Amino acid sequence: MLAPETLQAVLRRLKRGPLVGADAGAAVAYGDDVLDRLLPHRRPMRLVDAIDRVDVAGAAVRGHRTLAAGDLGFAGHFPDTPVYPGVLTVEAIGQLGLTLTHFARRRTTDVPADLAPAVVRATHIHHAAFLAPFHPGDTMTLHACVVDEDMTLVAAGQAWNGDVLAAYTVAEVYIDE
């Protein structure tokens, strides 16, 4: 469990700017084939399209998801003004954060061909905030970083819509090893 002062410091960091700078870490181009090795999720529940930057030293990663009108959640949320559900935004951030179980732990950007996804269980969402909506056609630029790792992995993340911080969260998962 995060100490309240640690959580407050992380929340301040999330509001200051993107977690992964334009030149941080290494540029990568990881799509479906690599994501299938890093994440246990499959479409339509895999909510990350690609990873484009991994900062091993900063234990952080950046990726994206382009939203289509037919995506999970838009049909009934809301019919006349479709808005991507906040819970799915948190899920997308969380899925990107799960890739850190590989990148941060192994301190590499390489993803071996025989890698299998870690078995994880979400245990706690410490905080989530929704500041701006996502609509069909928008691209969510997702950022995630490790906050703490012990018995669980605590990760912080952001979802940007262009230059606008649309959502941020701090969540925790148990990694079954």
The count of other CB atoms within 10 Å of the CB of residue 4 is 9
The count of other CB atoms within 10 Å of the CB of residue 17 is 11
Sheet harboring 139-149: ordered strands across?
A: 26-30, 50-55, 60-66, 139-149, 152-161, 164-176, 119-130
CA distance 19 to 111: 22
In terms of Cβ atoms closer than 10 Å to its own Cβ (0-12, 13-18, 19+), residue 62 is buried
**64 catalytically annotated:** no
Q: Which among 41, 77, 126, 135 is annotated as catalytic?
A: 77
Point out the residues that are catalytic: 77
